Chain A
């Protein structure tokens, strides 16, 4: 009796474990609040918006298109390959199977990078076709692997019997061998399809500007937080897969039906599901492929145009409407691609795989790119709107671009403390609050080396670019001391947790802070008096840009007050554009101390610098020690 209960309980536990995440996601897709931490009532608006969102729909199409095409081509090639391998002598067959299996065991990142290098070596321009080729490549072994066992089971003499009865080799293959290995072929196809849908890493390295699959698209949005539309999309995808699986399972072979005696109703049900599975699903696939194909042929025309500018920007960093406006005005096509961290962007620029025209790196990365001679000097005659950028920002930029020759400040922000007024006793103005026993377990720290050490170093009165080992050890000691007080080390959950009143104090970026304040008026942001980090993301032009003048036109356009203001509305990060700031309608935003702190406060702030690999290693080592205590 008890055993039975334990069994049931255990099963239930497993099911909950497996499905809790997806159910959470489905629930959130109906949450009218943007926050993950708060239930704002039921809504279907994300579903509506999903279908109105051009970018997501494009990414979805691309994903399906690539998954279907690559799975299809890999299935054809892989099946042919498996047949070839099967016909080999045993010795060679084992060898060939080994050779085809190895790529499957290879880490994705190795496959991705080597494919990228190969494409660059052969001067393939990265884009849709390179993703497709890459996906076909990594899908092939899966197809071979699932077709091979079926081939081994297949009685070769049936093929010979067909020839014997007068069938041509091709006819014999399709009539006799193929139906026999079909289960292997279709499971190979499905496997390839899912592998392709799933893939992020390889796509990431082999994609070019302007092409995004869902995974790369979603990832590029991580910085701003994943939009609820994506939850809606994931829910739809999950349900589609579920539906497909159910269909597959209730549609047994006709063959099976023939062997058993079934009621008419069951036979009819089987017939319907077979019809769905064999006719409707493939038909739907064909429709998607053709529509996608047409869609892409029109898009490819655009990509081919010479009068274009290729922009490589952070995810969700520019209002799409601004791009449209620019295209209308100038007739220049904008090919827009997004990245998610400086470290991902950098190797792409350095390798020269793609000639980007405008990129938007952060301060320390700009310094590094200048050092490595990757940037072109901007001709400011073509960027008269530079006058709109506040002097204070141009001055701050000198920390990484000493002569203001290479970069135009685009967005900026500070790091500070976000606190809940109702949960603290006194106004906060110092990093010391992060070490206050009173707030044990309601402190949120940034989970990244430089941010964490920056806080400690500033608190101690040092530079946040310190490379002095004594200073760093002191900072480390402080961080270790702080550990018991910290509720969690997080990156982008600070926002949600603070909105949801889950913590009293958190270290956060100012751009996030503005947004949190809109959602939860109890929250307040402060740049501690000891000083903090100011970050600036600036527009630069890589040296190998092919459309430098278009790039300058684009930068000039973005520096226009109206455009800067439009972008502020879109992203609510601080803009360095004084003219743009003046246009902001809401006084509480225009005069927000979070978005636009006094110049005096900024004087206490420093940008991060690139400290060199050795110092990076020291930082990382010290941070690991903190985390592992």
Chain B
């Protein structure tokens, strides 16, 4: 997990007036599991298609293993794609589908047989060899699409929401299998998903995108614990996001109440965004809190209770193992290191989203 395998340099792409990727810079290391995460239409598929060679960027280049592959034809690239819409060949059997790439490479029949067997077993579809794609369910088709890509043992596997159509149990199994594959075969994964939980569990690196801009790149922990802006904070998990004032170093004013924090270097009396995760809000006796509020809703969520607390004109989202019935007056406390201070967004895009929310 050291050297850069793919380097995306200053890539921009627009369809007509619509700027889909805006001057993107990103590198992917060998044997990395990198996830592109972002709302629908933010350009994930487009970026993947540029990597696969199905679109060419208007500007910028793609470097693969030190070589510029920006204009290389898709069939000459050492990567395989699992398409968002499966894209199985409807006129071929499952076995023929899986064998397609291997036949082109001129592998022997026994090798191909073995691979088909192995791949079908891997995706839990043993014995489906002679079936036709349109006789399979959506989830089964998607698994075949994965099998078809994997048998080619590509250096990089591009997956566009490959588990979207699967049920929870199967999805978890497949997640596990994919990670096993990555470790066993040393394949580099570029993975696209909507599902932040999936992103957090599987990835080495997460790239959060919004409207063609990269919002943050980091490990799942980084992204979760230290979102760099309100968009990331809001997109990853649930959050309380406040427009706040940084009074001075280590002191922030939220909803008119001063909270001690650990961040420094924002200057004095500067507007910032403050993020507090719901599980980091401590509910205490009214007197003991920095701020007082009233519980307005209570839902049991299994591991914890989810509560809304109205305080100083803001509805706080709180996760707690303690239960406070609706109408209870409570005090609110937050540990200083649980408050994440972020600069106000400069880019319009990020702003647009935070205002919308």
Enumerate chain A interface residues (CB-CB to B < 8 A): 155, 157-158, 160-169, 171-172, 175-176, 179-180, 255, 258-259
Enumerate chain B interface residues (CB-CB to A < 8 A): 52-54, 73-75, 80-81, 83, 85, 87-91, 93, 100-101, 104-105, 130-132, 135, 145, 148-149, 152
CA distance A10 to B131 in the complex (A): 45
- B135 CB contacts on chain A under 8 angstroms: 259
Closest to A89 in B: B16
**Nearest-Cβ distance from residue B5 to partner chain A, whole angstroms:** 18
Decide: A179 near B91, CB < 8 A? Known: A155-B85, A167-B104. yes
Q: Which of A158, A164, A167 has the most CB of B within 10 A?
A: A164
- A168 CB contacts on chain B under 8 angstroms: 75
A157 touches B104 (CB 8 A): no
Decide: A176 near B89, CB < 8 A? Known: A161-B81, A259-B132. yes
Closest to B145 in A: A161
Some 17 contacts from A to B, beta carbons below 8 A apart, are A155-B85, A155-B87, A155-B90, A158-B87, A160-B74, A160-B81, A161-B145, A161-B148, A164-B52, A165-B152, A166-B101, A166-B104, A168-B75, A169-B75, A175-B100, A180-B90, A258-B93
Known: A165-B104, A169-B75. 17 other contacts (CB 8 A): A155-B90, A158-B87, A160-B74, A161-B83, A161-B87, A161-B145, A161-B148, A165-B75, A165-B101, A165-B149, A166-B75, A166-B104, A166-B152, A167-B100, A175-B100, A179-B91, A180-B90
Q: Among the listed B87, B88, B100, which residue makes an inter-chain contact with A160, where contact means beta carbons less than 8 Å apart? A: B87
A171 touches B83 (CB 8 A): no
- B80 CB contacts on chain A under 8 angstroms: 164-165
Q: Which of B100, B101, B132 has the most CB of A within 10 A?
A: B100
**Nearest-Cβ distance from residue B162 to partner chain A, whole angstroms:** 13
Decide: A164 near B85, CB < 8 A? Known: A258-B130, A258-B132. no
Closest to B84 in A: A157
- B132 CB contacts on chain A under 8 angstroms: 255, 258-259
CA distance A165 to B89 in the complex (A): 12
A165 touches B85 (CB 8 A): no
Decide: A165 near B73, CB < 8 A? Known: A160-B87, A179-B91. no
Decide: A162 near B100, CB < 8 A? Known: A157-B85, A167-B75. yes
- A155 CB contacts on chain B under 8 angstroms: 85, 87, 90
- A179 CB contacts on chain B under 8 angstroms: 91
**Nearest-Cβ distance from residue A577 to partner chain B, whole angstroms:** 70
- A175 CB contacts on chain B under 8 angstroms: 89, 100
- A165 CB contacts on chain B under 8 angstroms: 75, 80, 100-101, 104, 148-149, 152
CA distance A162 to B152 in the complex (A): 13
Closest to B49 in A: A160
- B91 CB contacts on chain A under 8 angstroms: 176, 179-180, 255
Closest to B131 in A: A258
CA distance A304 to B101 in the complex (A): 53
Decide: A166 near B130, CB < 8 A? Known: A158-B90, A160-B74. no
**Nearest-Cβ distance from residue B51 to partner chain A, whole angstroms:** 11
Closest to B158 in A: A164
- A171 CB contacts on chain B under 8 angstroms: 104
**Nearest-Cβ distance from residue B170 to partner chain A, whole angstroms:** 22
Decide: A161 near B104, CB < 8 A? Known: A166-B75, A166-B152, A258-B130. no
**Nearest-Cβ distance from residue B153 to partner chain A, whole angstroms:** 12
- A163 CB contacts on chain B under 8 angstroms: 53-54, 73-75
Closest to B90 in A: A180
CA distance A165 to B98 in the complex (A): 10
Closest to A163 in B: B74
Q: Which of A157, A162, A165, A168 has the most CB of B within 10 A?
A: A165
**Nearest-Cβ distance from residue B219 to partner chain A, whole angstroms:** 29
CA distance A167 to B135 in the complex (A): 25
CA distance A253 to B152 in the complex (A): 30
Q: Which of B53, B80, B85, B91 has the most CB of A within 10 A?
A: B91
CA distance A173 to B74 in the complex (A): 14
CA distance A166 to B149 in the complex (A): 11
**Nearest-Cβ distance from residue B85 to partner chain A, whole angstroms:** 5
Closest to B99 in A: A165
Closest to A165 in B: B101
A158 touches B89 (CB 8 A): yes
- B101 CB contacts on chain A under 8 angstroms: 165-166
A162 touches B81 (CB 8 A): no
CA distance A258 to B96 in the complex (A): 14
CA distance A175 to B103 in the complex (A): 12
**Nearest-Cβ distance from residue A267 to partner chain B, whole angstroms:** 14
- B73 CB contacts on chain A under 8 angstroms: 163, 169
Q: Which of A161, A168, A255, A258 has the most CB of B within 10 A?
A: A161
CA distance A160 to B88 in the complex (A): 11
A164 touches B81 (CB 8 A): yes
**Nearest-Cβ distance from residue B158 to partner chain A, whole angstroms:** 9
Decide: A161 near B89, CB < 8 A? Known: A166-B75, A167-B75, A167-B100. yes
CA distance A179 to B100 in the complex (A): 15
- A258 CB contacts on chain B under 8 angstroms: 93, 130-132
Closest to A160 in B: B54
**Nearest-Cβ distance from residue B335 to partner chain A, whole angstroms:** 50
Decide: A166 near B87, CB < 8 A? Known: A258-B130, A259-B132. no
**Nearest-Cβ distance from residue A179 to partner chain B, whole angstroms:** 4
Decide: A157 near B148, CB < 8 A? Known: A167-B104, A255-B132. no
CA distance A168 to B80 in the complex (A): 15
CA distance A172 to B101 in the complex (A): 11
- A162 CB contacts on chain B under 8 angstroms: 89, 100
Which 4 A/B pairs are nearest by Cβ-Cβ distance?
A165-B101, A157-B87, A179-B91, A161-B87
**Nearest-Cβ distance from residue A183 to partner chain B, whole angstroms:** 11
Closest to B91 in A: A179
Q: Which of B53, B73, B90, B152 has the most CB of A within 10 A?
A: B90
**Nearest-Cβ distance from residue B16 to partner chain A, whole angstroms:** 10
A157 touches B100 (CB 8 A): no
- B145 CB contacts on chain A under 8 angstroms: 161
- B87 CB contacts on chain A under 8 angstroms: 155, 157-158, 160-161
CA distance A163 to B76 in the complex (A): 9
Closest to A164 in B: B81
CA distance A256 to B101 in the complex (A): 25
- B152 CB contacts on chain A under 8 angstroms: 165-166
